[in-house]
Every structure is written in structure tokens, then in C-alpha cells.
Amino acid sequence: MASDIVSEKNDEGDLVLTWSGRWTLAHRILAVNALTLVLVGLAIVYLDSYRNRLEKERIHKVEAIAGLAATAVPTVGLAQREQLVGGLGKQSETRIRVYGANGALQYDSWRITGPTYRLRDPTTQKWTKDVARALDRGFNALVGEDSLEDFAEPATDTAQGWPEVLASRRSGKTEMEIRQAPELTPVFSAATPVAGGATLLVTDNDRDFTHRVRKQRGSLLIALACVAGLSVLLSLFLARTIVLPLRRIALAAHRVRLGRAREVKVPRLPSRTDEIGLLARSISDMSHSLRHRIDNIEAFAADVTHELKNPLASLRSAVDGLERIEDPKLRTQLIDVIRQDVQRLDRLISDVGEAARTDAELARARFEPVDLGDLIGQLVSAWETRRETGNVRIAFARPRRASAIVMGEPGRLARAIDNIVDNAISFSPPGGLVEIAATHVGDEIRIRIDDEGPGVPKESREAIFNRFHSVRPDAESFGRHSGLGLAIARAIVEGHDGEIDVADRDDALSGARFTIILKAADRA
């Protein structure tokens, strides 16, 4: 059963960004978070400042009523004072009381007018009030507002039952207190001295204060809802610009892992210059490289199988013939064939192992500065002393010391150059000359290997670097080359971010010129 994530559709149109395409992911995330926090913070600061301003207005109002009443009471006779206190209390919708010098209650506006406000019992109110009070407590905790003292009428209504009255008597000026009623509405009280040693107390349960504050908080909740909606939109924006392309890339990578589709298209997002675009292009390049590597492995396995079958078939035929042939001369020839086939298999297996290890070893290798002058000099000495070069001569134009330095893995570079020199010697005529030179040109090091052989036809210059390309000189002994030498050399050079090519010599009538181009190391 096919995986539910396998899909041929891979439209990149909905992943293309317009005005936000130049923003990095960090900028987008920071902008969303900062904008939301700033809006909420501004709303809280505004509402807290509004509540503080309104509270100051109510304090000034109660203080003004207390001052006005304290001034008016001594101006009328004793008989008219309670009527005056009642009228002022009714007009201001407050309760005004006057305590004598001995602390006893002398006048109370409610005796004349009845209650001008009533403290509500929260248990008798609707559930909506409970929600409002919960919001009040939460907001007060958020802004760090101190809890108010609960308001309660003293059991015995005397001056001693009111801390603000006692404080006013001591200070000789108006003293304020703010308490909260059971349903969390504020009770403002102001005590101020009156001529003759008396003290006047004004109390006001200002429900309008709470109503206005809650109205503003309701507006804040609406604003917060708008901010939440904006945050959702911005989150969708981030989802479109981050989550959606990442999900698309992840699905494509999963299809690559499953390997069910021969060609899996990974979105490259060329219009995006942020991290998502870089990731998309990197994974796309990686998938192409992986596909190319898998193709090479499959082709390599098929080539190895084909190349192994030939000497094995020859061996099988020679071994079978040994049992039937009695002629010693023919048996000697068959044994020689077996020996050559074994030599060919040994060479082939060694080179196959070398080719298989090349990419992996280069991926793990730590590059270091390599002086190609010294490296090639050692190779030339080795060829002259231990290898059978016939009468082929090798000439090396050694560069100045430390003038041909590259970053690489010395052993691998030596193997690449050695394979090309081996190829040049094998194609050189008797008495021929193989010339090697390494020069520093601009920011490149160029290694040139010239021989005096027949050269390489133009139509074969790419094929000779293919694995198991086995066009060899007629005079070469059987089994000496596996057809992997130049392929290994190219893999090593390309693993060092270099290039290798072959052309005809421009300074001789015949011969091939192999050129290796590597990046020069920074001497600093």
C-alpha cells in the first residue's frame, strides 16, 4: 500500500513571499511576539492610569464635600444643623456624620433622608457580577494593586470606630480612607475638623466608579480580543512562511527516504532569501546529489559484476581444460592463463576497493597544507627506483619551494597523480619522455602531465574517465590495469573541489596532456 504522504503535486506557488520575502525568520517571530506584548502592555498601562486618575477625582470630590459641609455646619444654628447635614448628604448622595468633641455621634444625614447608597450582598447578585469581580481581582493582581481593607460599619457608631476621624483630630486636617464593600465597590471616606472640636465624616459608596472602571476593562477585553485575532493572523502568516514550506520540504525528504519515486521534486523556493529558502535549496541539492550517488553505485555494481565475470569465465574454462589436456605444453599455457586471470582479478578487486573507498575517505579526511612540489618529487623518485618504466624517462620541473601549496589529503592526491603518471607511461613509446610540471597561476595550482603517446581522440576524452574503460596499448601485459585508474583520479580531484581534463599537446606533434587544477592554499 502506498504511503499517504506520497504525492506528485508539488506546487510552489503558495510558498512564494512578496513584501516579507527579505525578512529572516528571527525578524518575523520577534515582530509577532513584540507586537502582541506591546499592545497588551499599552492597554494595561492605559487602564491602570485611567483608574488612578478616576480614583483621584473621587478622592477630591469627597474631600470637597467634606470641606464644604465642615464650613457650612458652624454657620447655622444648632436646630438647623441636622437639616443642613441631611440636605448636603442627599444632594451629594453621600452619608455625612458629625461627631462631637467627646466622640459621640451628633448629626447623621441618613436620619433625615434615609440611606443614599446601599451596600450590596454579593450572594444575592447575578453570576455576571461574580465574573466581573473575578476580572477585577485578576487585573489588580496583574498591575500589582494592593488589596483594600473591607468596609464595615462599627458596632457602636462613635468617633473611635473610624481611624480617619481619629487621624483628623490628631493632624487637624482632612484625612482620607478607601475601603471596599462586600461586592468590591469602593467606599471613599473623608474626615475633616469642624469648629468647636467636632469632626465631620463623609462616606460614599461610589458604584459609578466601579461601573466606569469595568466599562474600560470591557473595552480592554475587546481590544485584547482584537489583539488575539491579530496574533492568530500573524501566526497564520508565520505558519504560511515557516510551517508550510518546512512541511513541504519534510514530505519531499520523506519520499526521498522511501525511494518509491524515481524523481522526487524538492521545492527550491528561489524567490526566498531567508533561512527557509537556503534550507530548501540545500535539501534539493542534497537530494540530487544523493540520487546521483545512488545511480553511480548501481552503475558501479553492474560494471563490477560484468568485469568480474570475464576473468572468472576464463578461469573456469582453463581449470576445466586442465583435467582433459595431457600435453605438458598446453597445460603450461593454461596455467599461464590462470595465473594472468588471477593477476587480473587481484588488480581488479584492489582497484574496486580503492574506488569504493575514495568518496567515503575524502568525506572524512581532514585537509592539510600539501606542497605539491615535494609530493610529486617523491612520486617521481619512486617511479624511477621501484617501478618498471621500461626506457620511458620522467622529467619533473620542480617549482619553487612552497609555491605550489594546496589544501588536501596527501595520500589521496598522491594516488590521483600516480594514476595519471602510470597511464602516461603505459602509453608512451620506447624511449619516450613523460614531463610533469606544477605551476601557480592566479589562485590556482595547475599540474601538467605530458606524454609522447598517440594522444586521446576528442570523442574519447570524457569516456576515458569512466569506470572500467579498458582501451589499453597493444604491448601492455594482460591484467596490469583494471580500467579504474583515471576514474579514481577524477573522483579524488573533484573531491578536492578541483578539475581534471585531457587534451592534445600544443608543443609536440603527438601526445596527450592531462591537466589537474586545484585551488591554491592561503599562505597566510
Contact 405, 524 (CB under 8 A): no
Mean predicted confidence (pLDDT) in 151-180: 92
pLDDT at 510 over 80: yes
Does residue 169 have a pLDDT over 90? yes
Residue 272 has pLDDT above 60, yes or no: yes
Residue 432 near residue 404, CB atoms below 8 Å: no
pLDDT value for 166: 93
Q: For residue 190, what pLDDT band results from cuts at 50, 70 and 90?
A: very high
Q: Which domains does the chain have, with CATH numbers?
A: 26-218 (3.30.450.20), 266-364 (1.10.287.130), 366-524 (3.30.565.10)
Is residue 66 within 8 Å of 194, Cβ to Cβ? no
In 106-206, which residue ranges form alpha helices assigned H by DSSP?
109-113, 127-143, 163-171
Mean pLDDT of the chain: 80
Secondary structure of 434-502 in HEC code, one letter for each residue: EEEEEEEECCEEEEEEECCCCCCCHHHCCHHHCCCCCCCCCCCCCCCCCCCHHHHHHHHHHHCCCEEEE
The pLDDT, as a whole number, for residue 5 is: 37
Asked if residue 278 has pLDDT above 80, the reply is yes
Note the pLDDT of residue 472.
53
Residue 320 burial class via C-beta count within 10 angstroms: exposed 0-12, middle 13-18, buried 19 and up: exposed
Backbone angles phi, psi at 255, to 5 degrees: -65, -35
**Single-letter residue type at 481:** H
Specify the amino acid at residue 331. R
DSSP 8-class letter at 148? P
Per the structure block, which three cell numbers stand in for 207?
458604584
Residue 524 has pLDDT above 70, yes or no: no
pLDDT of residue 355: 64
**Least confident span in 127-141, 143-157, 200-214, 409-423:** 127-141
Confidence band of 361 (pLDDT split at 50, 70, 90): low
Contact 185, 154 (CB under 8 A): no
Task: Quick: pLDDT tens for 436-475.
Answer: 999 998 889 999 999 988 888 888 888 888 766 665 555 4
Q: What average pLDDT does the segment 185-196 reach?
A: 92
Helix axes 328-364, 410-427, angle to 10 degrees: 140
| Non-local CB neighbours of 440 within 8 Å, separated by 6+ positions | 399, 403, 404, 520
**pLDDT, average across residues 115-122:** 88
Q: Is the pLDDT of residue 150 over 80?
A: yes
Please give the torsion angle defined by the CA atoms of residues 430, 435, 436 and 438, in that order, rounded to the nearest 10 degrees.
-170
Q: Which residue has the higher pLDDT, 342 or 34?
A: 342
Residues 117, 171: contact at Cβ < 8 Å? no
What is the pLDDT at residue 365?
72
pLDDT tens digits, 298-310: 776 776 676 677 6
Distance between CA 326 and CA 365 in Å, rounded? Answer: 55
Q: What is the pLDDT of residue 318?
A: 77
The average pLDDT across 286-301 equals 74
Find the angle CA(131)-CA(137)-CA(142) to the nearest 5 degrees. Answer: 125
pLDDT of residue 269: 78
Q: Residue 43 pLDDT > 60, yes or no?
A: yes
402-410 average pLDDT score:
88
Q: Among candidates 206, 209, 276, 271, which has minimal Cα distance to 241? A: 276
Instruction: Look at residue 363 in the predicted model and tell me its pLDDT.
Output: 64
The rounded percent of the chain whose pLDDT value lies above 90 is: 23
Place of cell 518546512: 246
Q: How far is CA 237 from CA 20, 34, 243, 274, in A?
A: 10, 15, 9, 15
Residue with more model confidence, 509 or 470: 509
What residues contact 86, with CB distance under 8 A and at least 6 apart? 109, 110, 111, 112, 113
Phi, psi of 221 (to 5 degrees): -65, -40
**pLDDT tens-place string over residues 57-66:** 999 999 999 9
Question: Which of these ranges, 119-123, 299-303, 364-368, 373-377, has the smallest mean pLDDT?
Answer: 299-303
341 or 207: which carries more pLDDT confidence?
207
Whether the predicted pLDDT of 82 surpasses 80: yes
Query: Crossing angle, helix 25-72 and helix 207-238, to 10 degrees?
Result: 180
* Whether residue 270 has pLDDT greater than 90: no
Would the pLDDT of 173 be above 70?
A: yes
DSSP 8-class letter at 15: G
Cα–Cα distance, 118 to 182 (Å, whole number): 11
- Choice between 234 and 107, residue whose per-residue pLDDT is larger: 107
**Burial label, 37 (beta-carbon count in 10 A; 0-12, 13-18, 19+):** exposed
Check residue 471 and give its pLDDT. Answer: 57
Higher local confidence (pLDDT), 312 or 114: 114
Pairwise pLDDT comparison (169 vs 5), residue with the higher score? 169
**For residue 204, what pLDDT is reported?**
93
Stretch 292-318: mean pLDDT: 72
* In the predicted structure, residue 368 carries a pLDDT above the cut 80: yes
Residue with more model confidence, 133 or 157: 157
Confidence tier at 199 by pLDDT (50, 70, 90)? very high
- Of 251, 278, 332, the C-alpha closest to 266 is 251
- If one compares 150 and 137, the residue with the highest pLDDT of the two is 150
pLDDT of residue 107: 93
Q: Say yes or no to pLDDT of 90 above 80.
A: yes
Where is pLDDT greater, at 289 or 177?
A: 177
The pLDDT, as a whole number, for residue 62 is: 93
d(CA 518, CA 490): 12
Residue 2 predicted with pLDDT over 50: no
190 contacts 175 by C-beta, under 8 angstroms: yes
- Provide the sign of the torsion angle of the four alpha carbons 35, 39, 44, 49, taken in this order: positive
> What are 319-356's pLDDT values in tens digits?
877 777 777 888 787 788 788 778 777 767 776 666 66
Give every strand in the sheet of 105-108, ordered side by side: 105-108, 95-99, 198-205, 186-194, 175-180, 149-150
**112 burial via Cβ count (<10 Å: 0-12, 13-18, 19+):** middle
State the Cα–Cα distance between residues 387 and 379, nearest whole angstrom: 11
